[in-house]
Amino acid sequence: MRVVVDHSLCEGNGRCVEVASGIFELRDDDRSYVLEEQPPHSLRAKVDLAVSLCPRQAIKIIEG
């Protein structure tokens, strides 16, 4: 899987960083950045949680 954040949607609420701090990071432009674009499958649950918690639905998982 590949994780991407759509910066036209992200407004830096930071819920993803709360639940998956190793995968996402809030930077000075108040947007979330993906630190690990292809996280191991063991982190899948955390990524799914980040996707579901994002208020703006800015995080996408691309399978494959």
Partner 1 sequence: MGELTLDSVDIVNPDLYVQRGYPHAEWALLRREAPIYYYQRPDVDPFWAITRHADIVNVSRQPGLFKSVQILFVTVNDPGSPPPEEAILRQLLNMNPPEHGAYRGVVNRRFTPRSVQQLTSGIERITTEVLDDLAGREECDFVTEVSAKLPLAVIAEMFGIPRADWPLMFRLSNEMIGPSDPEYAGTDTVTATLERARMEFFQYFNGLVEDRRKNPRDDLSSALANGLVNGEPLPIFELMSYFALLIIAGNETTRNATTGGLDAFINNPDQWELLKRDPTLVPKAVEEIVRWTSPVIQFTRQATEDTELDGQKIREGDILALFYPSANRDESIFAAPNHFDISRYPNHHVAFGIGEHFCLGANLARLELQVMFRQLAERLESVELTAPIQRMRSSFVGGIKHMPVRLKVRSRT
**Residue choice 7, 37, 44, 57 for contact with partner 1 (CB under 8 A):** 57
> Cβ(41)–Cβ(3) under 8 Å?
no
Find the binding residues for partner 1 in span 7-46 (CB under 8 A). Answer: 11-14, 19, 26, 28, 30
Give 18 or 38: the residue with its C-beta nearer to partner 1. 18
Give 1 or 14: the residue with its C-beta nearer to partner 1. 14
Give 1 or 51: the residue with its C-beta nearer to partner 1. 51
**End-to-end CA, the chain:** 5
Nearest of 50, 46, 43, 45 to residue 16 by alpha carbon: 50
